[in-house]
Chains A and B, each alone.
Chain A
């Protein structure tokens, strides 16, 4: 009797296990079936990896949805999004780990990343990470006006983005335009300026970067050579000198975490001036969380920005199946989506895009932002900042 019961249960167990694996196996044919109803040939799957703040996620969900819904698309794109500053392992680390482990057939088919961050990818993966693209297979590429600064033969820029200064025009009619004026303004108006810790988001990162690099030669800005770390001294001294005049809470200076931190302070009128990503500020204004009186401008020398590019890692499924989606991203319709969803600076001629949102970005001159690309030196920067500036009383 006991044996019988045992057998019955064992059968049940095996049944359960097959069910479990059966489910995962059963999905694939179902998927291809739906594909084949829309299209006679089965479309290859392209896994797109992207990271950033939530607005970027919203953008990609829209663009990927639009793309997959078009009957003429020749592949199916699946989005893998990593929220920045959420404690997740960085995309660059994941790809480097896969490549260094000797894997060649991963699902890192296509990545969307800041042009200035690519050096970090290549450095971590120890070279030869991105495959050169065949631009003849991307017909829209001839319309792209923005030229990428790094790995030009391997990337297609699809938007520009930059850190700017955001302020409230009602409380601050004449914001400081240069770094000298900024220095005087911060010291004359204690507690009205804030930036986020450089490790917690790119806005604070760009502000600290410019403080460190604005007086250094241009070659330093795009070098991953550790010798430039020694040249950061005067920048650090300046950041230390403005520390006592930063935003205070509970009697102590604080640097709120993440790009959203200083934005929240601006929204709540606790500060008057912050460095922030242009797209985040414009999105907040259009949603009404920041008042209409919020204005943006660029400092001189300009805070850093970057082109955001699509690139194909050599350990993915090859460039061929990604061309159609890349081509779509730089088409006028996708560029319009980028502009209207996150106020991205278009990479193609603005006159080909029909949108009211163009007015909001007219002050953003994409040509004048500073490009800083220093690879893993940004880790050094974050560590120094945390040890020497966050600890100041």
Chain B
């Protein structure tokens, strides 16, 4: 018996080893390295907090942090609202249109991001499709979406609505028609069915979708780089500037840690929500 257990443990370790070594080599070790570097002075290598102080006191840096969080929060809120409505429609409507949308709504997931960004630019830039279309009717409509936050948010929505809808649709499909029907039978109106049953039953998945959208946008690079303005900039761009344009490696490390912490908050919410699962189901 003793021997068997030992062998089994060995076996488990052996099977996990490749994944663990990879994780350690390309994720954990660089993280430790970056964290250590962020506390090092760029002059003599001694311990210092100056990089963090700079990031949270320098006006440009604070502007960039606020700008990034603002864009991400707006993206999350709008993406969730639109996705939820879309998912409700897909789940509870059985028309031809809804089935058609159901087939194509995932399309954005399969388009390479840079292609999508440039495609969007040709439409929304001041000399783009919208502008030319308006000129047909004698107007000169300039959307003004390029090189500022609005364009980035529009693009973020394009990327994230498909993803969030996918998760919410899956959650809504898990709610059996029988529950909804029995609620209607005892006299519940549409609104109270939604508020008392559908919303609580899908809330966990909405939170999960939110954390994913939050994490993928806080560190985004391509969209803000190609569509964003010069100041303020999102943290991904700011990080690139510190790293490859100014050569401030220690400050770049500190900025990476800050971005990592922002993402971690969202990761903690995700894990917490997942662990709560059983309790959630108990209350229903």
User: Is B184 among interface residues, defined by CB-CB distance under 8 A?
Assistant: no
Please name all residues of chain A whose beta carbon is closer than 8 Å to the beta carbon of B14 when the two chains form the complex. 10, 13
Q: Which of B60, B127, B221 contacts A268 (CB 8 A)?
A: B127
Q: Which of B4, B7, B60, B221 contacts A391 (CB 8 A)?
A: B60
CA distance A184 to B18 in the complex (A): 66
Q: Which of B8, B126, B148, B230 contacts A386 (CB 8 A)?
A: B230
Please name all residues of chain A whose beta carbon is closer than 8 Å to the beta carbon of B7 when the two chains form the complex. 2-3, 6
Q: Which of A249, A257, A258, A376 contacts B144 (CB 8 A)?
A: A249
A378-391 interface mask toward B, CB cutoff 8 Å, 1 = contact, 0 = none? 01001100110011
User: Is B147 among interface residues, defined by CB-CB distance under 8 A?
Assistant: yes
A87-B244, A250-B147 given; A3·B229 CB < 8 A = no
CA distance A88 to B240 in the complex (A): 9
A2-B4, A199-B245 given; A9·B11 CB < 8 A = yes
A-B contact count (CB 8 A): 82
B128-149 interface mask toward A, CB cutoff 8 Å, 1 = contact, 0 = none? 1000000000000000111110
A3-B4, A87-B221 given; A197·B147 CB < 8 A = no
- Are the C-beta atoms of B231 and A390 separated by less than 8 Å? yes
Number of residues from A at the complex interface, CB < 8 A: 34
Q: Which of A93, A249, A258 contacts B146 (CB 8 A)?
A: A249
CA distance A13 to B247 in the complex (A): 44
- Are the C-beta atoms of B11 and A379 separated by less than 8 Å? no
- Are the C-beta atoms of A270 and B126 separated by less than 8 Å? yes
Please name all residues of chain B whose beta carbon is closer than 8 Å to the beta carbon of A145 when the two chains form the complex. none
CB distance from B175 to the nearest CB of A (A): 41
- Are the C-beta atoms of B230 and A382 separated by less than 8 Å? no
- Are the C-beta atoms of B15 and A13 separated by less than 8 Å? yes
A3-B4, A250-B147 given; A376·B230 CB < 8 A = no
Give the nearest-CB partner of B146 in chain A. A249
B147-172 interface mask toward A, CB cutoff 8 Å, 1 = contact, 0 = none? 11010000000000000000000000
User: Is A147 among interface residues, defined by CB-CB distance under 8 A?
Assistant: no
- Are the C-beta atoms of B225 and A257 separated by less than 8 Å? yes
Task: Give residues in A with beta carbon < 8 Å to B.
Answer: 2-3, 6, 9-10, 13, 17, 87-90, 93, 197, 199, 249-252, 254-258, 268-270, 376, 379, 382-383, 386-387, 390-391
Task: Give residues in B with beta carbon < 8 Å to A.
Answer: 4, 7-8, 11, 14-15, 18, 60, 125-128, 144-148, 150, 221, 225-226, 228-231, 240-241, 243-247
Of all A-B residue pairs in the complex, the 8 with the closest CB atoms, nearest first, are A250-B144, A199-B245, A390-B230, A254-B147, A390-B231, A268-B127, A382-B245, A6-B11
